Structure 1
């Protein structure tokens, strides 16, 4: 949880112990009023086999920003591993990075930034 709140600037919504080996941890991008992420540890071999393979090598989650340079620099300073140099697409500026477990994520500043 610390890595997500420190490196990705997520906000902790809930950290509730379920029992000795399990916690219910929900985080959300700071300022977001949309969906949240549930962080959970693998508790068996089947779940562990899915780490780094959540989306079959594709990027399933995007971290939108209203200031790409600021957030990329902050993330780099926190040791986030970027898989490429930033690229400018029709939809905006984007870069692929890895989360703490090697899952791929995108940092994107849409060309038309509109908070909803």
Structure 2
């Protein structure tokens, strides 16, 4: 959909600060079932690493922390709030694949909060129609 007076836009990537590229890739691909979209070496030992749940969803750029300020933010980029929301069409199967606090039933659907490898909080959501 093109907004009035401008070009169509979509969210392409969200950056997530991580401690280690390979551990983060393993978590997102094994625990969450994401696809590794890109892993390109850059200068100074950095890499351009993108994972995605697929289906046209925005990808996550896994950015290794550089320096004390970024290292302090790993796992707490949103001050303890849920940072990311992962929709699913099969809550039970997705929930069984990961560790989570017990599911809650809200007006918008079934939800469980879980933490990723770095400590960032996520919501796993199966929306009601």
TM-score, length-scaled by structure 2: 0.77
Deviation at 1:20, TM superposition (A): 4.8
- Would you say 1:107 and 2:86 are equivalent positions? no
Deviation at 1:55, TM superposition (A): 0.7
Bigger Rg over Cα: 2
Runs of 4 or more, structure 1, over 3 Å off, are none
- Would you say 1:40 and 2:63 are equivalent positions? yes
Deviation at 1:21, TM superposition (A): 1.7
1:56-75 alpha-carbon deviations (Å, 9 max, x no partner)? 11112111100000111122
Deviation at 1:32, TM superposition (A): 2.2
Q: Which residue of 2 is the match for residue 27 of structure 1?
A: 51
Structure 2 unmatched ranges of 5 or more? 1-24
Two-structure CA RMSD over aligned residues (Å): 1.1
Q: Which residue of 1 is the match for residue 107 of structure 2?
A: 90
- Would you say 1:14 and 2:31 are equivalent positions? no
Separation (CA, whole Å) in 2 of partners of 1:45 and 1:32: 36
TM-score, length-scaled by structure 1: 0.85
> How many residues were matched structurally?
105
